[in-house]
Chains A and B, each alone.
Chain A
């Protein structure tokens, strides 16, 4: 088992940042909702990675935070999956451009 030291913390945070960045790029380049769902899951993976160093400082609160993150993110993604199915039933496609509610224009 590797010990938590500065090098491993740096590596964990750098990897987490790289995954988060790739998740953002995937979300930005997505034109359909499935790809958006995949990008969100990837970003949650980055969040899980960034929680590991917290275990070295406070293990029990870190575990509690991890459980909350896992269950709430799974719930959020479940809602998105339901939304994709409903979107497909309504407009017969799952393209992001056909979503008319919410979002900002840059």
Chain B
């Protein structure tokens, strides 16, 4: 629990670094650190397949490309922020806090087994005949189609 709290603290601080840093390059670095820490929280709950997916797919590909882009277009942008946006943010925070408070007050009604470790195995997920294999196939097709569309847009722009 203390470790989780420490990770949560580092997460919020690195996310704050993204907002406060004026240089996009440092913002991208802070963002990469935040995502790696999110993946580390998954590893903390013994969900290593998700750790690998987030670090390799999300941070390793998209995060590094973002850092490279930020380094290429390095600039100090001006800020624009309307304080009126604080109102919906505050309402959401109050609702979230109230729901957690009432849940703690009136006991458990969500069906979550309290104080139980997460029982997930990759072998159980990918067992033969599982419906998730079909989902994985569809998802792979979707990603390939998406990549082909991006290449087509880019080549159309070139010509």
* Residues 87-140 (chain B) with a chain A CB within 8 angstroms: 89, 92-93, 96, 100, 103-104, 108, 110-120, 124-125, 132, 135-136, 139
> Given A28-B81, A38-B24, A86-B157: A79 and B150 within 8 A (CB)?
yes
Q: Is the interface of B mostly helix, strand, loop or mixed?
A: helix
Q: A44–B69 Cα gap in the complex (Å)?
A: 19
Question: Which range contains the number of A residues in contact with the other chain?
Answer: 35 or more
Interface size (B, Cβ < 8 Å)?
81
**A101 interface hit (Cβ, 8 Å):** no
Query: Of B85, B118, B132, B135, which is in contact with the most chain A CB atoms at under 10 Å from its CB?
Result: B118
B53 close to A66 (CB less than 8 A) = yes
A38 close to B73 (CB less than 8 A) = no
Q: Mark B64-89, 1 if CB is under 8 A from A, else 0.
A: 01100110010101111110010001
Q: Which A residues fall within an 8 A CB radius of B?
A: 1-15, 17-19, 21-26, 28-32, 34-35, 37-39, 41-42, 44-45, 48-49, 52-53, 55-57, 59-60, 62-64, 66-68, 70-75, 77-79, 81-82, 84-86, 88-89, 94, 106
